[in-house]
Amino acid sequence: MLTVLIQMAALIVCGVAWRALRPLGLDADGMRHSLTSLVYVLLLPALVLKVLWIAPLGGESLRIAGLATVGIAVGLLSAWAWFRLVHAPRAAAGAMILATAFPNATYLGLPVLQQSLGDWASRIAIQYDLFSCTPLLLSLGVVIARAHGDHDEEEHVLRALLKVPPLWAALAAVLLNAFQVPFPDALKGLLDMLGNGVIPLMLVALGMGLRWDTWHRGMLVRLLPVMVVQLLLTPLVVWWLSTHLDMVHGVRTAVVLEAAMPTMVLGIVLADRYGLDSGLYAAAVTLSTALSMFTLPLWFGWLA
């Protein structure tokens, strides 16, 4: 795990360096938007289609989605209770609730699981995200953002979900899987080529999105409970529940590691759109990602 994280950290650092150096005069935010759009619209759907078409689906998928939902609920309720207790400003509380609840299940979880556990674990990351995290972010997460922000966009939840290409790919793959449609060898080669670009581009884009310029000393008080819940409490609860379910040890390890991922990068879009404290959210992404380089090996070693 440590070797894997060092390799991935090197790609993340490349993104961080791009933000600082701006090679060829290209802005990091513009480049990140281009890279994530390419991954989001083309490469990730190809990977999702390939993986879920042949993945074993059924009771295991329901358990993965259920544990992911419980993990999100732990983050939501813990953060809501804490920031209500300390009377945090609404915009800050909304940003921190989202930051605590939703893990970076694909952009960091997918490469971590695939590189540390094997290619088979890709299906765990994809199901954890697309069967729970992303739909809940674009539904319940939007409700939370609207309640705490000062911008009110009235886009319907279903319309937002229909704009997620990986969800369409997941739906197509599940149907093909359910009807046992054979996987053509020619298509497998194409999807392999497209899917192979997902991990390095996601990690570089993640590095481009990390920002220390929003940081100030007063943020630590608000960020500390986010780090404790996101990186320690949530995976602990998910692990405890998983021990009471019929799960293969490797699958349990993958699910708990997903629950231990840092804050989801995609949430910054909701923070910006609905007038939450996006600087605080960006700081949560940066700090949790940095700390996860230490906590993830601890979880992996303990679970193994």
Decide if pLDDT at 288 tops 70.
Answer: yes
Structure tokens belonging to residue 48: 């999702």
Per residue in 32-55, pLDDT (tens digit) is: 889 988 999 999 999 999 999 999
For the segment 199-203, the average pLDDT, to the nearest whole number, is 90
Distance of alpha carbon 87 from alpha carbon 55, whole angstroms: 46
> 231 lies in a domain?
yes
Q: Above pLDDT 70, what percent of the chain?
A: 96
Asked if residue 130 lies in contact with residue 215, where contact means CB atoms within 8 angstroms, the answer is: no
136: amino acid identity, one letter: L
Q: Is residue 103 classed as helix, strand or coil in its secondary structure? A: strand
> 66 lies in a domain?
yes
119: amino acid identity, one letter: D
For the segment 60-80, the average pLDDT, to the nearest whole number, is 96
10: amino acid identity, one letter: A
| Domain harbouring 37, CATH code | 1.20.1530.20
Residue 296 vs residues 133, 195, 289: alpha-carbon distances, Å? 19, 24, 10
Q: Is residue 263 classed as helix, strand or coil in its secondary structure? A: strand
> 226 lies in a domain?
yes
Per-residue pLDDT at 152: 61
Decide if pLDDT at 213 tops 80.
Answer: no
> 222 lies in a domain?
yes
First to last CA, the chain: 11
Beta-bridge mates of residue 102? none
Decide if pLDDT at 214 tops 80.
Answer: no
Q: Which of 259, 5, 203 is nearest to 116 (CA)?
A: 5
Angle (CA) 88 232 82, round 5°: 20
Question: Domain containing 187: what range?
Answer: 28-205+216-303
> 18 lies in a domain?
no
For the segment 104-119, the average pLDDT, to the nearest whole number, is 92
* Local confidence band at 230 (pLDDT 50, 70, 90 cut-offs): very high
* Local confidence band at 274 (pLDDT 50, 70, 90 cut-offs): confident
What mean pLDDT is reported for the chain? Answer: 90
Q: How many C-beta atoms lie closer than 10 Å to residue 212's C-beta?
A: 13
* Local confidence band at 265 (pLDDT 50, 70, 90 cut-offs): confident
Asked if residue 274 lies in contact with residue 145, where contact means CB atoms within 8 angstroms, the answer is: yes
Overall domain count for the chain? 1
> 6 lies in a domain?
no
Decide if pLDDT at 247 tops 70.
Answer: yes
Per residue in 75-94, pLDDT (tens digit) is: 999 999 999 999 889 999 99
> 123 lies in a domain?
yes
Per residue in 4-35, pLDDT (tens digit) is: 888 888 999 999 999 989 999 999 989 988 99
Cβ neighbors of 193 (< 8 A, separation 6 or more) are none
Q: Which of 22, 220, 232, 195 is nearest to 111 (CA)?
A: 195
Per residue in 113-130, pLDDT (tens digit) is: 999 999 999 999 999 999
Per-residue pLDDT at 171: 94
Per-residue pLDDT at 157: 63
Per-residue pLDDT at 220: 83
> 21 lies in a domain?
no
Decide if pLDDT at 291 tops 80.
Answer: yes
Per residue in 127-173, pLDDT (tens digit) is: 999 999 999 998 899 899 989 988 666 666 667 777 889 999 999 99
